[in-house]
Amino acid sequence: MALLQFKKKPAETGQPVDPKVEAFLKDYSIEVMPRTAEKVEDFRDLLPEGTRVYIAHIEGTPIEDMVSTAKRLAREGYPVMPHFPARIIKDRATLADWIARYQGEAGVEQALMLAGGVDKPHGEFDSSMQLLETGLFGDFKRLHVAGHPEGNKDIDAKGGTANVDAALQWKQKFSETTDAEMALATQFAFEAQPIIEWANSLKAAGIDLPIHIGIAGPAKLQTMIKFAMACGVGPSIRVLQKRAKDVSKLLLPFEPTEVVSQLAAHKAANPDFNVTNVHFFPLGGIKTNAQWAIDHGGASAVPASQS
């Protein structure tokens, strides 16, 4: 049976698509949660077929809801990458059960591993490295791990990036021992230059994992600031703070146009730049984010096909 074709079209903005941005958005990914996915009648009306969809596993979300969402997305034609937050996984048996469910019911072959945003581990795991060391992901085709362009206070509580840097070196070495394709999926940030400097510093340190850079999708400024503070976004939050001082822009949605355009221009001028993909956090809603991507050339990222 043929899958439904991707039907969304660019809005009539009157602005031509920047070819550098269009190229940069190729193969972008996006993140959902079970409760937000439920609000979407059919993802094929929003996303090009083949778009990688991460499923965020928030503390308290039943694994049944996660697997059900993965199964639904896979059925609609999307490669699914569920989160495996180490600190909410009780033990090895629980991890093995989750993996078996994802693989058996939804055919999942990709995973994002991260520590998870809880202070106290629920069991024996504290980091994504411990998950990798179990060997339970041995037959996964793609494994992503977390990157932090502006550091992470949960990992380096006293500031700096010593612990984050050490973890990245460990993940780099692990990537050289696995058959899975590995990449860094990062926290979102709002300024291009610090992202560029961070990415370049990784390459200089011998870390050549491709970077899927986190970008916050369009949202109300107040919403954006709330999420940025909750997620520990670093100095680039000043972009939002500056915007908040402009009364004329206070009620307008904040869009990622500037940061994406600057990163796209840098990528076009430096093809070996190690930021290879965009990963969207749809803070203002999946439909809003999907439309922004379409308007900027993202609709051509992965063409719909018959199956």
Provide the CATH topology of domain 19-296: TIM Barrel (3.20.20)
* Res 304 pLDDT > 50: no
User: Cβ-count burial of 242 within 10 angstroms (0-12 exposed, 13-18 middle, 19+ buried)?
Assistant: exposed
**pLDDT digits 0-9 by tens, 20-52:** 999 999 999 999 999 999 999 999 999 998 999
First to last CA, the chain: 6
Spans of all domains in the chain: 19-296
**Which is nearest to 294 in space by CA: 12, 65, 92?**
12
- Write the pLDDT tens digit of every residue in 138-192: 999 999 999 988 755 566 555 556 777 888 999 999 999 999 999 999 988 889 9
For residue 195, is pLDDT > 80?
yes
Residue 69 tokens read as 């969402």
pTM here is 0.87
pLDDT digits (tens, 9 = 90+) for 214-238: 999 998 777 777 766 665 665 556 6
Q: Identify the band that residue 67 occupies on the pLDDT scale cut at 50, 70 and 90.
A: very high
Sign of CA dihedral 248, 250, 253, 257: positive
Residue at 57: amino acid letter: H
Amino acid 165: pLDDT: 82
For the chain, the average pLDDT equals 86
Helix (H) or strand (E) run with residue 64 in it: helix 63-75
The H helix count followed by the E strand count for the chain is 11, 10
pLDDT at 233: 60
Tell me: pLDDT of 267 over 60.
yes
* The pLDDT of residue 306: 31
280 has a pLDDT exceeding 70: yes
Residues 6 or more apart whose CB falls under 8 angstroms from that of 72 comprise: 37
Pair 9, 45: CB distance under 8 Å: no
Average pLDDT over residues 234-250: 60
Task: Determine the average pLDDT of the residues in 248-276.
Answer: 89
Determine contact, residues 114/153, Cβ cutoff 8 Å: no
User: For residue 5, what are its two tokens?
Assistant: 């074709």
